[in-house]
Amino acid sequence: MSQPRSILSSSIESDTQRVTISDVALKAGVSKATVSRFLNRREELLTPEIAVRVERAIASLGYTPSPMAQALKRGRSRLIGLVVADVTNPFSVAVLRGAERACQDAGYLLMLFNLGNESGREREAIQALSSYQVEGLILNTLGRDEGAVAQAMRHGKPVVLVDRRHAGMQADFVSIDNAGAVQLAASHLLDAGYREQLFISEPISGVSSRMERETAFRAFVGEHAGVLAGRTFESTAEDVQGLEDALRSLMRRAGGRRPAVLCSNAVISLRVAAAAARLGWRFGADLGLVGFDETEWAPLIGPGLSTIAQPTDDLGRLAASCLMERLSGLVLPPRQILLPGRLIERGSSRLYEEVDD
């Protein structure tokens, strides 16, 4: 089954089927203005007979006023738009939950647009959400569509970026401290005796978070030259053989050294776990692993996958809070908020002597 590209599509479809104020007016034999007066509790402008006719028409047709339309009449939609690159990514889902709770607490509703990793659709997403009169935007996108910056600025709505920067967009930015998190993971592997490491990421170019993590990994390897050897491999979902070949090459280079992989996100961790299973390798015994993103399934794979847990709930809440502050009139230069990651150690990053004990 194909992944729906946007939650907006179902909303648009349902809107076309709902009973309208015109239907009520026709059923009651009155004008739309008369129905509007009734809905806005202005019955004093109507005769009792007409008020009863409108009330009965509403009940008969099952009409409910659009909350959006009602809000727009008051000058506020109370809607926040959230654009995510890939809603199947556990990180995006976790951030969404945090942002949604913060928006609800502040009396806002969140509208989601999923890009399905199609970076060229960022402008389309912003345009679609703006057509629903969202008051602000939270963007967790690839950041590759330069036109998206102009589109967001054209609508004049406050924007908060999560995890990934947009070149040229002056906006509040909320993210994990990527450099610190990579250093934490690579240091843990090195201290555990893994002296041949491979950083595996989805395609890096143009995606700020992936670039920052890969740069931090290369810097760490450079700082420990002579003790640690490390390389980078970019993995795609289609190139299953390429990933297996990269892991075999890692094992050959390691020789008598301990080999380990550092996975840039949960999607990559799953790919590496599947590849290791096909190769018949055991984590902690044949191959070490630390992955970004703590998930429900991380403890269940092999001896348990060690992870860098991102403060996803806090990231979502902070992004929403920053946006609420902007909506309330706060005027400050763009802010950058970086939160630390947390290492959760399990069997995949322990040496096999420890795992066997």
pLDDT per residue over 171-223, tens digit each?
899 999 999 999 999 999 999 999 999 999 999 998 899 999 999 999 999 99
Q: Which of 297, 294, 232 is nearest to 262 (CA)?
A: 232
pLDDT per residue over 2-11, tens digit each?
333 344 433 3
Would you state the pLDDT for residue 10? 36
- Count of residues in the chain: 357
CB 207 within 8 A of CB 143: yes
Which residues does 64 contact at the CB level (< 8 Å), separation at least 6?
A: 18, 19
DSSP notation for 167-231: TT---EEEEE-HHHHHHHHHHHHHHTT--EEEEEES--TT-HHHHHHHHHHHHHHHHTTTT-EEE
Q: Which of 295, 258, 289, 292 is nearest to 274 (CA)?
A: 289
CA distance 229 to 222: 9
Would you state the pLDDT for residue 3? 39
Low-confidence ranges of the chain (pLDDT < 50): 1-16, 354-357
Torsion of CA 91, 97, 102, 108, to 10 degrees: 120
Would you state the pLDDT for residue 69? 60
Domains of the chain from N-terminus onward: 19-65 (1.10.260.40), 79-176+312-339 (3.40.50.2300), 178-310+342-356 (3.40.50.2300)
Would you state the pLDDT for residue 192? 95
CA distance 164 to 315: 12
Would you state the pLDDT for residue 234? 98
Would you state the pLDDT for residue 41? 63
Q: Which of 192, 188, 219, 142 is nearest to 308 (CA)?
A: 188
Tell how strand 306-309 and strand 342-344 pair up: antiparallel
Q: Which of 238, 305, 227, 231 is nearest to 265 (CA)?
A: 305
CA distance 96 to 322: 15
CA distance 349 to 347: 6
Would you state the pLDDT for residue 357? 45
Distances, alpha carbon 302 to alpha carbons 288, 292, 299, in Å? 11, 17, 8
CA distance 130 to 156: 10
CA distance 91 to 296: 12
Would you state the pLDDT for residue 275? 97
Would you state the pLDDT for residue 87? 86
Q: Which residue has the tokens 């995510």?
A: 84
